[in-house]
Amino acid sequence: MTIKKNEADPRVIRTRRLLQDAFASLIQEKDFESITVRDIAERATVNRATFYAHFVDKFEILETKLTESFMTIINRRISGYEVLNEETIQSIFLGVCDFHKGLSTMCKRRYKSLGPVFEIQIKEKIQTILLSFIDKDKMLSSPNAQFLINTASIMLSWGMYGAAYVWNNEGRLISAESFVKQTMPLVMNGAKELLG
């Protein structure tokens, strides 16, 4: 169990960053399965107790790294967008492609096994991002509207995640931009309910 520390404390931030950077360098060199907490702590020049004060285990540090990486990519892509439209959805989709490409680069050896491990969390993040653009009054207008909007956002997030995963896994035979442009008609057909 991690000890809750003052997350705003510069020392806590610095130590977490050290641990995350150590992990990021190790994942470039070794399979995730062979990385130990001891490896991460030694690379970060801290003891194992310090690691456990910040993370439960190596899966939590991986999840934190992936979620942080995903949100950085997405926020860069959707910066300035205020409404959900085709352009916003295309930017989110491109961000999902960027994420998969980055994940397969960061975890060269284990992308096929690690990609699906945090699939649910990333799909939920995509859904949350899509829903953040939806007018709350529209969501609350009726139980049926809420159901349809939620279902559409789930299908869209899962579709974008899955399509980007396969695009990356099959070797990115075309650029992300070309891939997204070719698949946007399918995506937009599924997005009609969200766009109202």
Judge whether residue 133 has pLDDT over 80: yes
- Looking at the fold, whether 112 and 23 belong to one and the same domain comes out as no
- Looking at the fold, whether 69 and 32 belong to one and the same domain comes out as no
- Looking at the fold, whether 51 and 74 belong to one and the same domain comes out as no
3-state secondary structure the chain: CCCCCCCCCHHHHHHHHHHHHHHHHHHHHCCHHHCCHHHHHHHHCCCHHHHHHHCCCHHHHHHHHHHHHHHHHHHHHHCCCCCCCHHHHHHHHHHHHHHHHHHHHHCCCCHHHHCCCCHHHHHHHHHHHHHHCCCHHHHHCCHHHHHHHHHHHHHHHHHHHHHHHHHHHCCCCCCHHHHHHHHHHHHHHHHHHHHC
Q: Is 130 exposed, middle or buried (0-12, 13-18, 19+ CB in 10 A)?
A: buried
- Looking at the fold, whether 84 and 49 belong to one and the same domain comes out as no
C-alpha 79/C-alpha 100 separation (Å) is: 20
Residue 2 is assigned to a structural domain of this protein: no
Judge whether residue 179 has pLDDT over 60: yes
pLDDT tier for residue 89 given thresholds of 50, 70 and 90: very high
- Looking at the fold, whether 191 and 119 belong to one and the same domain comes out as yes
Q: What is the CATH number of the domain that holds 15?
A: 1.10.10.60
Mean pLDDT of 128-152: 84
pLDDT one-digit tens code per residue, 1-32: 444 456 678 888 999 999 999 998 998 888 78
Judge whether residue 63 has pLDDT over 90: no
Average pLDDT of the chain is 87
- Looking at the fold, whether 101 and 64 belong to one and the same domain comes out as yes
- Looking at the fold, whether 117 and 28 belong to one and the same domain comes out as no
Q: What is the pLDDT of residue 141?
A: 76
C-alpha 103/C-alpha 121 separation (Å) is: 14
Judge whether residue 110 has pLDDT over 70: no
Mean pLDDT of 122-136: 90
Residue 33 is assigned to a structural domain of this protein: yes
- Looking at the fold, whether 23 and 102 belong to one and the same domain comes out as no
Residue-number span of the structural domain to which 156 is assigned? 60-195
- Look at 72 and 111; give whichever has higher pLDDT: 72
Mean pLDDT of 100-120: 71
- Looking at the fold, whether 93 and 162 belong to one and the same domain comes out as yes
Q: What is the pLDDT of residue 2?
A: 43
Residue 53: Cβ within 10 Å count: 17
Mean pLDDT of 133-145: 78
- Looking at the fold, whether 30 and 84 belong to one and the same domain comes out as no
Residue 168 is assigned to a structural domain of this protein: yes
- Looking at the fold, whether 45 and 125 belong to one and the same domain comes out as no
If one counts the domains in the chain, the total is 2
Q: Of the ranges 13-22, 40-49, 83-92, 99-108, which one carries the lowest mean pLDDT score?
A: 99-108
Q: What is the pLDDT of residue 1?
A: 43
Q: Is 64 exposed, middle or buried (0-12, 13-18, 19+ CB in 10 A)?
A: middle
- Looking at the fold, whether 111 and 133 belong to one and the same domain comes out as yes
